[in-house]
Amino acid sequence: EQLLEARDQAEKASKAKSEFLASMSHELRTPMNAVLGFAQMMQYDPRTNLSEIQNNHVSHIIEGGNHLLELINDVLDLSKIEADHLSLTLEQIDSAEIVADAVLMSASLGNARNITVVDKFSDAASVMLQTDSMRFKQCLLNLISNAVKYNKDGGVVTLNGQETEDGFLRISVTDTGLGIAKRDFAGMFQMFHRLNGDPTVAKEGTGIGLTVTKLLIERMAGRIGFDSEEGVGSTFWIELPLASNHN
């Protein structure tokens, strides 16, 4: 009885935390829009005539602001999922369309480092899925942006897809990056788990993306996993139910 009571209390506390986070993140986003919006205006308004140093300072505001906004958005998603406030729209969608869109949106991510994103999936015969198209795209964008971020200069990111025997479509995102050591495999989907730096100082990422992706995919009755070899690269894959899968 004591154990049951302790468990109920823990669940209540966890729910309260998620609800608090969901409302806090929402409130935090509004002022961030003002910070970023006005910083961008200062940078682009021809009448402001910023000196080089001032321009540099404004760039720091924008860079830091964008990072914070990304973090807030991730925490908002995460807490919404945990508090069961996330509504999904499950419908029949053409997987090729979503993959092509996600590839198009991420094509420029690798420009500066000469990394190309190759889509070997969406030209093939279309596969219909039963899923939430916006969340599906969000998950793909997360995996592609990681594959770019943790790639080496001049590297390649390749998307592939194939149907599984049990009624899912597996889409894989393969990179030619640093790879992940076997000893780090276990914690990959844990929140704030980052292999390359302290989450409070590293500006490139937040360490929440994979956690959110996993929770979203599982909410859509899907599965997620990866394999990786140090020095060679990683393949992250997601599997979502085919429209014909009535289980």
Q: Which residues bind ligand ADP (CB under 6 A)?
A: 146-147, 149-150, 175, 177-178, 180, 188, 193-196, 205-211, 234, 236
SS3 assignment, position 238: strand
Q: How far apart are CA 58 and CA 45, in angstroms?
A: 12
In the complex, least distance from residue 246 CB atom to ligand ADP, rounded to whole angstroms:
32
Q: Return the number of the residue (18 or 146) whose C-beta is nearest ligand ADP.
A: 146
Q: How far apart are CA 94 and CA 213, in angstroms?
A: 20
In the complex, least distance from residue 81 CB atom to ligand ADP, rounded to whole angstroms:
14
Q: Return the number of the residue (104 or 195) whose C-beta is nearest ligand ADP.
A: 195
**Residue, CB closest to ligand ADP:** 205
Q: Decide: 241 and 129 in contact? Cβ < 8 Å.
A: yes
Strands 156-163, 116-119: pairing is parallel
In the complex, least distance from residue 176 CB atom to ligand ADP, rounded to whole angstroms:
10
In the complex, least distance from residue 223 CB atom to ligand ADP, rounded to whole angstroms:
17
Q: Return the number of the residue (52 or 198) whose C-beta is nearest ligand ADP.
A: 198
Residue found by looking up tokens 């790639």 in the block: 151
Q: Decide: 221 and 241 in contact? Cβ < 8 Å.
A: yes
Residues 6+ apart with CB under 8 A from 150: 175, 177, 178, 196, 234
Q: Return the number of the residue (110 or 177) whose C-beta is nearest ligand ADP.
A: 177
In the complex, least distance from residue 138 CB atom to ligand ADP, rounded to whole angstroms:
12
Q: Return the number of the residue (58 or 72) whose C-beta is nearest ligand ADP.
A: 72
Bridge partners for 237 per DSSP: 172, 225
